[in-house]
Structure 1
Amino acid sequence: MVNLHHTNTYDEFVTLMKKLDGSNHESFILFTGTPNESGESWCSDCVNAEPIIKNQIEKNKERLKNANIIFAYAGKREEWKNCPGNPFKTDKRTKLQFLPTLMKWGTLYKLQVEECLKPDLLNMLFEESED
Structure 2
Amino acid sequence: MVTILKIKGFEEFVSFTDSIDPNGPIVLFYFTGSKMENGKSWCPDCEEAEPIVKTFLTELKKNVTFVFVDVGEREYWKEKTCPFRTDSRTRLMVIPTIIKWKGVQRLEGSQCNNRDLLQMLFEDDDD
Q: So what's the TM-score if we normalise by structure 2?
A: 0.94
Q: Among all aligned residue pairs of Structure 1 and Structure 2, give the percentage whose two residues are the same amino acid.
A: 39
Partner of 2:82: 86
SS of residue paired to 2:51: helix
Tell me the distance in 2 between the aligned counterparts of 1:58 and 1:16.
23
1:76 aligns with 2:73: yes
CA distance in 1, matches of 2:126, 2:70: 26
Q: 1:59-74 residue pairs with structure 2 within 5 A? A: 59-60=59-60, 62=61, 64=62, 66-74=63-71
Match of 1:103 in 2: 99
Alignment partner for residue 120 of structure 2, among 117, 120, 124?
124
Instruction: Give the equivalent residue in structure 2 for 1:9.
Output: 9
Cα separation, 1, equivalents of 2:65 and 2:23? 10
Q: CA deviation at 1:22?
A: 4.4
Q: Deviations over 1:4-54 (max 9, x none)?
A: 111111101111111124452100110000111222110000000001011
Shift of 1:3: 1.3
Q: Distance in 2 between matches of 1:36 and 1:87?
A: 21
Q: Per-residue CA shift, 1:84-126, capped at 9, x if unaligned? A: 1101111101100000001111111000111111100100001
Following the alignment from structure 2 to structure 1, what is the Cα–Cα distance between the partners of residues 46 and 98?
10
Matched residues in 2 for 1:78 and 1:37: separation?
A: 16
Structure 2 gap segments, 5+ residues each:
none
Structure 1 runs, 4 residues or longer, greater than 6 Å off: none
Residue-pair matches, total: 127
